[in-house]
Chains A and B, each alone.
Chain A
Amino acid sequence: MKKYGALSDKELYSLTKHGDEAAFSELVSRHESFSFGVAFSVLHNSEDAADAVQDAFFRLWRAAGKYRGECEIRTWLYTLTKTAALDILRSRSAHAVISTDELSETGAEPEDPSPTPEEEAGRQELIREVRAAINALPDAQREVIVMRELHGMSYIEIANATGSDIGTVKSRLSRARAALAEILKRSLGENFLP
C-alpha cells in the first residue's frame, strides 16, 4: 500500500498522471480548505464556493497529463479556483473585484469571549476602518494583502500566482501595510489594535 501522506504534492500529481485516483484524493484532502477559502472570498456563499472548488479540482485532474513540474500545485490550484469562482460570479452578472467590502458582514468573532459592549463596538469600528483602508489601496497592493492575510499564501506562492517576482511581492506588501498603518494612525490614533 502506497504511503501517500509522505509524498510531496508534485509526487502525488505525477501519480495522478497515471490515473492514480487515490493519489489525487490525497491532494484534494490537503488543499480542499485552501481552495474553498479562495472561492468563498470571491463568492461569499458556501454552495457556490463548493461548486467552484469542485470545478477547479476537476480541471486539475484533467490537466495532469500536461503537467511539466514548473509550478507548485497549490499555486496552480489558486489560479484554477479563482478563475472558477470568477466565472460563477460573472455568470450572475456580479462585479468581479477583489474586495473586502462584502467580506464578513457580521464582522470577525471577538477573540475575547466576554468583551464589553464598548469594546466590541470599538472592534467592529476598527474592522470597518481597516476594510475601507484596504479597499482604498491600489489593486496590486490589495491583492497581495488578501492573498497573504486571508489565504495564508507564502511570498513565493503569491509571486507565482500574480506573475511577479518575490521582490515585487515584498515591496507591495510592505507598502500596503505602511499605508494601512498611516491610515489607521490618522483615524484612530496610535493605539488602534483591539
Chain B
Amino acid sequence: MKKYSCDEIKALLCEYSDGETDAETARDIEQHLDGCPECRAELELCLKAKSASAAAVGQDNIPSPPADLHERIMSAVHKDASAKKRQAARRWRNIAAAAAVLTLFVGIGAFVFMMGPMKSGNSSFDGLAGIAGEAAPPSGCKPGEDGNAQDEDAAFRPENNDLAADVPCSDKPSASDSEDKYGELFRTYGAGYDRALIIPITAGSYDAAASLAASLGAKFDGLAFAVPYTKDAEDTVLSWSGGDVFDPVVYGGDDGELCIIVYVEK
C-alpha cells in the first residue's frame, strides 16, 4: 500500500471522484481519507463542484432521441447498401456486353492470322469462342458441378489448360512488385470471395482483358480486375484471396500482355 501526502491526495481527488483511478490507487486514497479530515473536506468540495457542473451543463435536460431515429438511420443505410449492389450488377452487365464484342474480334483476328498453321480444335480459341457465345468457363470445368473447390481451381490454373499453353504472358511484374501494387488493393476492399480464376490472355488493351474476365466473373457471380500476370503474382493473389472482394479496378500492363484474375464467391 502506498502512502500519499495530502498534496498528492488532493491532486488525485478529481480523478478519484470520476472513477478513473485504478483499484489499488483508490484503496490508498480511501485509506488516507479515513484519517485526514482536511482531505475529506477537499473531496467534499470536489464533489460539490462536480454536482454543480453537471447541473449547469444541463445533464437533466437532454431529451430522448425521437422514437423513429433508429429506423431513419437504418433506412438510409439499407438504401446505400442496395444502391451499391445495383451499381455492381450494372457494371458487370456493361462489361459482359463489351466482352462479347471483344471475344468476337479476337476470335476472328486470331483465326485469320493463324489460318495456315492453326491447329484443329485449338481449345484456346474454342474456349474464347465458347466464352463469346455462352460465357462458358474454360474447357475442363463447369461451374456448379459436383466435386470439391480444389478440383475446379486446378482446372482453371494456366498450367492445366490449353489456354495457358497457347497464350504466353509477360513475366512482369515480379512478386515484390505485386506486393507493392496489389497489396493495398487487396487489403482495402471487402470480403466474401475466396477462389481465383486466372486466365492468361494476350489482348490489345486492358479494357478488352477486363471485359473478358468480367463475363466470366458474372458467370460465377464474382468480381474481376486485370493485372499483369506472373506465376508469383498468381500465388500471391491466391494467398490473399481469402475473403477479399474487389471492385473491377483496371490495372494496365506495360506491354499489352495482360491476365485476368477473377474472384469467385465462396
A residues touching B (Cβ–Cβ < 8 Å)? Answer: 17-19, 21, 24-25, 28-29, 32-33, 36-37, 40-41, 46-47, 49-50, 53-54, 57-58, 61-62, 65-66, 100, 103-104, 106, 108-109, 126-127, 130-131, 133-134, 145-146, 148-150, 154-155, 170, 173-174, 177-178, 180-181, 184, 192-194
Contact = CB atoms under 8 A, between A and B. Distances in A.
B53 A17 contact: no
A109 B136 CA distance: 72
Contact of A103 (B61, B66, B74): B61
Interface string B49-61: 1111111111111
A72 B257 CA distance: 46
Given A33-B64, A54-B69, 10 more contacts: A28-B74, A58-B76, A100-B58, A103-B57, A108-B59, A155-B18, A173-B18, A181-B46, A181-B48, A184-B48
Shortest Cβ-Cβ A-B pairs, 5 listed: A130-B56, A103-B58, A104-B58, A36-B65, A150-B57
Given A53-B69, A173-B14, A36 B55 contact: no
A154 B18 CA distance: 9
B70 A29 contact: yes
Number of chain B interface residues as a range: 35 or more
Contacts of B48: 181, 184, 192-193
Contact of B50 (A21, A149, A170): A149
5 contacts: A19-B190, A40-B63, A58-B76, A103-B56, A181-B45
B203 to A, nearest CB: 30
Given A21-B78, A130-B52, A192-B48, A148 B65 contact: no
Interface of B is mostly: helix
Contacts of B78: 21
Contacts of A130: 52-53, 55-56
A21 B81 contact: yes
B263 to A, nearest CB: 14
Contacts of B240: none
A127 B11 CA distance: 26
Given A32-B70, A50-B69, A104-B58, A61 B80 contact: yes
B53 A180 contact: yes
A145 B46 CA distance: 13
A65 B14 contact: no
A37 B81 CA distance: 27
Given A19-B81, A149-B50, A46 B60 contact: no
Given A46-B66, A50-B72, A180-B53, A108 B61 contact: yes
A127 B70 CA distance: 33
A184 B188 contact: no
B159 interface: no
A58 B63 contact: no
Max chain A Cβ within 10 angstroms of own Cβ: one of B65, B78, B188: B65
B111 interface: no
Interface in B1-41: 11, 14-15, 18, 20
B105 interface: no
B189 A65 contact: yes
B114 interface: no
B65 A32 contact: yes
Contacts of B56: 100, 103-104, 127, 130-131, 133-134
B115 interface: no
A177 B73 contact: no
Contacts of A148: 18
A33 B57 contact: no
Contacts of B69: 32, 36, 50, 53-54
Contact of B51 (A37, A133, A193): A193
Contacts of B55: 108, 126-127, 130, 194
A170 B15 contact: yes
Contacts of B49: 177-178, 180-181, 184
Nearest to B56: A130
Contacts of B65: 32-33, 36, 46, 49-50, 53
Given A24-B77, A50-B69, A50-B72, A41 B18 contact: no
A46 B129 CA distance: 63
Contacts of A32: 65, 69-70, 73
